[in-house]
Chain A
Amino acid sequence: NAGVTQTPKFQVLKTGQSMTLQCAQDMNHEYMSWYRQDPGMGLRLIHYSVGAGITDQGEVPNGYNVSRSTTEDFPLRLLSAAPSQTSVYFCASSLDRGRGETQYFGPGTRLLVL
């Protein structure tokens, strides 16, 4: 199994540009989530999904959209990039509906918004 994969690894955007961060898992996990990690802070939840077709907002959802059309994929869209969105983004998945279950993380995407 590849586990959780994320693309791209690095991305530089200009303010106002849009892009999609890709996340896929091959473990048949129901629960998937997106986090951002900023220096000196823990992970902050952006959006999550408890199954295909079901998504919900986390702690910091503004400026981001998600969809979950399949169990495997959970892309994160930045609608109009802002410098405040410069961060490292992690996708994670877990077998069950998420609460308290072991999370499996992707390697991360480093995003710089100029």
Chain B
Amino acid sequence: SQQGEEDPQALSIQEGENATMNCSYKTSINNLQWYRQNSGRGLVHLILIRSNEREKHSGRLRVTLDTSKKSSSLLITASRAADTASYFCATDGSGNYQLIWGAGTKLIIKP
């Protein structure tokens, strides 16, 4: 079963624009993570936000968390071609040692 659901499923924007993708989840969580996956590669951790945090920044990334709505958003500012990838959210709400993953948002940055 999937805890997190990202939307949109796919997003295509021009280089330099901002990209926003969203993640919704079903149960209470301790934290939420975002990962990036370049085509044919393993996932790479981007950022972790804890349930008591509302916003977090890392370079061009901004993550928000709204626990009342059970949702998170990932904003990538000033997008670059290298940002072309799939982005996944993962939550730990299962209460054990398992992360639950969404199906991902495929982001394409057009030059």
Asked if residues B43 and A99 are in contact (CB atoms below 8 Å), the reply is: no
What residues of chain B lie closer than 8 Å to A53, measured between beta carbons? none
Asked if residues B42 and A105 are in contact (CB atoms below 8 Å), the reply is: yes
What residues of chain A lie closer than 8 Å to B92, measured between beta carbons? 99-100
Q: Given the complex of chains A and B, what is the CA–CA distance between A90 and B41 in angstroms?
A: 10
What residues of chain A lie closer than 8 Å to B103, measured between beta carbons? 40-42
Q: How many residues of B contact A (CB 8 A)?
A: 26
Q: Closest residue of chain B to A105, judged by CB?
A: B42
Q: How many residues of A contact B (CB 8 A)?
A: 27
When A40-B103, A59-B1, A100-B30 are in contact, do A48 and B98 touch as well, CB less than 8 Å? Answer: yes
What residues of chain A lie closer than 8 Å to B35, measured between beta carbons? 103
Q: Closest residue of chain A to B40, judged by CB?
A: A108
How near does chain B come to A3, taking the closest CB pair, in angstroms? 9
How near does chain B come to A71, taking the closest CB pair, in angstroms? 16
What residues of chain B lie closer than 8 Å to A102, measured between beta carbons? 33, 45, 48
A50 within 8 Å of B (CB atoms):
yes
Q: Tell me the residues in window 38-85 of chain B with beta carbons closer than 8 Å to chain A beta carbons.
A: 40-45, 48
Pick the contact of B97 from A43, A44, A98, A108 — CB < 8 Å?
A98
Instruction: Name the residue among B1, B33, B88, B101 with the largest chain A CB count within 10 angstroms.
Output: B101
Q: Closest residue of chain A to B94, judged by CB?
A: A99
Query: 8 nearest interchain CB pairs?
Result: A42-B101, A105-B42, A98-B97, A100-B92, A43-B101, A100-B31, A102-B45, A105-B43
A-B CB contact pairs (8 Å), 17 listed: A4-B42, A42-B101, A43-B43, A50-B97, A90-B42, A92-B43, A97-B97, A98-B99, A99-B30, A99-B96, A99-B97, A99-B98, A102-B45, A103-B35, A103-B90, A105-B43, A108-B42
